[in-house]
Amino acid sequence: MTFPLVRMWMNSIAAGPLRTEIMIDQIEAINTESELEEILTRPRPQLLEVIKTCASPLLILGAGGKMGPTLAVLAKRAAEAAGHPLDVIAVSRFGDQASRQWLEARGVTTLSCDLLDARAVAALPDTENILYLVGLKFGTAQNPSATWAMNTLVPARVCERYPRSRIVAVSTGNVYPLSAVSRSGSVETDALTPLGEYANAAVARERIFEFHSQRNGTALALLRLFYAVELRYGVLADIARKVHAGEPISLGNGSFNCIWQGDANEMILRSLPLAASPPSVWNLCRPEIFSVRQVAMRCGELLGREPVFSGHESDTALLGNSAPLGAALGSPPTPLEAMLRWTAHWVKQDGRNLNRPTHFEVRDGGY
Ligand SMILES: NC(=O)c1ccc[n+]([C@@H]2O[C@H](COP(=O)([O-])OP(=O)(O)OC[C@H]3O[C@@H](n4cnc5c(N)ncnc54)[C@H](OP(=O)(O)O)[C@@H]3O)[C@@H](O)[C@H]2O)c1
């Protein structure tokens, strides 16, 4: 069964990309993974303008994770819609063969490569444009050396291989320490003094990019992302699943930022012209700060369950202020209420869960 608004949205696909902006928050429900993937990879006109200026090929490094597959297909669909010939090359180890097949079926070239291997990096194709998604976060407590190696050696190899390319590197909001909730989020010029090995390795990742950008004049944009969300993973899915299961929701880290993954991916692509040397640095999230309690209460209404809470809100949380990127690229189009409606519906119908919890409640930097 297809909901009427989803049908309207599907009709809008035939009508072309200009309709998407009007439709996105009118979609009542997302019922299947293919509907979800269509929405996540549907290009807006703003993206077509940028993609037309992107020389082929576009290389996406670390493309086999949660964001890379839909990012690569978004780029491909934007190029097709713009009538611009663009090879999109997704590079990853592709432990998950399903994501490799999914990409190939949608016109994205895949290359299996361990980016820790300098010879393999040397053999990658030349390119003017790189999106960098490689990272390692979870499991740091058990194997910190792997986190440090992945987040420092790989950026160095990539920068040495591509000194003349434009690079958009996705960093994380974890580079900041917790900030006062009353302050409305860390800003890009704040000191990078976070707690924990993962966060400090993420600072090192940025510093290595910055060092090479300064030394070689490599054009670089660093995007500090605060929680991309879609229906199969993310902080909203984590909260909604706990509400649905009657599990306690920790309020210690009582506020957060997030952004719909389709919007985050679009902004990553549209940041290519923002790359500069010395690097430009931007927080990437929706402009609002959200309350865990209020989000859980709204999920409770949508799911017909009473949320269970544990602890209470602190004065500080991991928060970012994304005003500068919003001023440069415009506000991300997908509002919280639409994300919550879709997430609650997805959870209620037992939609697929990647089983990769965000651990949004962590305050001591231990992942
Ligand atoms: N998703 C979020 O909410 C979020 C929030 C803040 C920051 N970020 C940042 O955004 C980036 C992308 O996010 P994501 O959620 O897609 O991350 P992810 O799921 O961890 O994906 C990154 C991918 O990089 C690939 N990779 C790791 N080491 C590699 C190596 N040696 N050689 C080749 N590929 C390697 C892995 O895929 P293979 O196994 O196929 O190699 C991995 O799945 C990450 O760097 C993360 O720091 C994400």
133 CA distance to ligand 1 centroid (A)? 5
- Whether the CA torsion 266, 267, 268, 272 is positive or negative: it is positive
Residue 232 near residue 260 (C-beta atoms within 8 A): no
Could you give the 3-state DSSP secondary structure of residue 244?
A: helix
- Summarize the confidence of residues 305-315 as an average pLDDT: 97
Nearest ligand 1 atom to alpha carbon 114: 32
Is the pLDDT at 28 greater than 80? The verdict is yes
Residue bearing the CA closest to ligand 1, atom 19: 65
* Average predicted confidence (pLDDT) for the chain: 93
Cis ω before 125 (30° cut-off from 0): no
25 or 6: whose pLDDT is higher? 25
Ligand 1 pocket, residues with Cβ under 6 angstroms:
62, 64-68, 92-95, 113-116, 133-135, 150, 154, 170, 172, 225, 227-228
Residue bearing the CA closest to ligand 1, atom 42: 65
Type of residue found at 293: R
* Helix or strand (DSSP H, E) at 121: helix 118-122
Q: How far apart are CA 303 and CA 176, in angstroms?
A: 34
Strands 280-284 and 316-317: unpaired
Tell me which of 1-10, 64-73, 190-199, 250-259 is least confident. Answer: 1-10
- Summarize the confidence of residues 94-111 as an average pLDDT: 96
Here the tokens at position 188 are: 């890009």
305 CA distance to ligand 1 centroid (A)? 34
**What percent of the chain is predicted at pLDDT more than 70?**
94
pLDDT, one tens digit per residue, over 114-156 is 999 999 999 999 999 999 999 998 888 899 999 999 999 999 9
Is the pLDDT at 168 greater than 70? The verdict is yes
pTM: 0.94
Q: How far apart are CA 51 and CA 48, in angstroms?
A: 5
Is the pLDDT at 11 greater than 90? The verdict is no
1 CA distance to ligand 1 centroid (A)? 35
Question: Using the 8-state DSSP alphabet, how is residue 316 labeled?
Answer: E
Confidence of residue 1 (pLDDT cuts 50, 70, 90): very low
11 CA distance to ligand 1 centroid (A)? 34
- CATH numbers and ranges of domains, the chain: 4-348 (3.40.50.720)
How far is the first Cα of the chain from the last one, in angstroms, to the nearest whole number? 41
Residue bearing the CA closest to ligand 1, atom 40: 94
Q: Which of 209, 225, 282, 358 to mutate to test the pocket of ligand 1 (most atoms within 8 A of CB)?
A: 225
92 CA distance to ligand 1 centroid (A)? 9
273 CA distance to ligand 1 centroid (A)? 23
